[in-house]
Amino acid sequence: MRANGLVIAIDGPAGVGKSTVGKLVASRLGYSFISTGKMYRALAWKALELGVSLEDDGALVALARAARWAFPKGAGPEADVSLDGRVLVLELAEERVSRASSAIARFAGVRLFMKDMQRQAGLEGGVVMEGRDIGTNVFPDAELKVYLDASPEARARRREGQLKLQGLPANYAEILDFIIKRDAQDSGRENNPLRKADDAHYLDSTAMPREKVVDAIVALFGAARK
């Protein structure tokens, strides 16, 4: 048993609601929440800022190693990502950063750096960690693994709704196209592609309200703790 509780790994494709659901689960359990995608995004942002090539694994690893990473406690259950003393929030949501993060996530060296850092962050347990390879690669020994899925159409519809709520332009066809391309990139790469771990619970949230997904994971937690 880990000092602070279980490690709960949530993996799944882009736009499936892993962060929203993961944060709600963490709040219900008094756990912390870590989005590993933000770590990839932070490194991508730094590379873009400094003009480091997104095609050079060695240079990206050197950049990651030289940076001072910290994960200070944020307002809710989620830790912030701070690089060299700068807390990154809005920067990580930029479209160019999103695209660059998926590109650098292909590389074996970058992934190994991230895996070590993520294991360090979650080793004591009491954590919900969300990403693409948590159950398969980062914490193959997680006490609870969930693979959250939804059809690309349902994910695109949700994203369209979120953007419209924020008063931002939203084009369903473009969003769907983006989601399908991102799925192909994340699942098709050679190093730790997105896939369900054999011992992960599969949850298809296409027709499931968010609260029901949270309830289902909390119920799985109750069973995993026994």
Residues near ligand DC (CB under 6 A) are 14, 36-38, 40-41, 101-102, 105, 131-134, 182, 186
- State which residue, 4 or 20, has the beta carbon closest to ligand DC: 20
Q: Give the nearest distance from C-beta 106 to ligand DC in angstroms.
A: 8
- State which residue, 38 or 155, has the beta carbon closest to ligand DC: 38
- State which residue, 145 or 182, has the beta carbon closest to ligand DC: 182
- State which residue, 132 or 159, has the beta carbon closest to ligand DC: 132
CA dist 44 and 66 (Å) reads 14
Q: Give the nearest distance from C-beta 193 to ligand DC in angstroms.
A: 9
Residues 6+ apart with CB under 8 A from 111: 105, 133, 137, 191, 192
Buried b (16+ CB within 10 A) or exposed e, 69-82: bebeeeeebbbebb
- State which residue, 110 or 219, has the beta carbon closest to ligand DC: 110
Residue 24 one-letter amino acid: L
Q: Give the nearest distance from C-beta 212 to ligand DC in angstroms.
A: 22
Q: Is 119 exposed, middle or buried (0-12, 13-18, 19+ CB in 10 A)?
A: middle
Q: Give the nearest distance from C-beta 189 to ligand DC in angstroms.
A: 8
DSSP sequence for 149-211: E--HHHHHHHHHHHHHHTT----HHHHHHHHHHHHHHHHH-SSS-S---TTSEEEE-TT--HH
Q: Give the nearest distance from C-beta 215 to ligand DC in angstroms.
A: 23
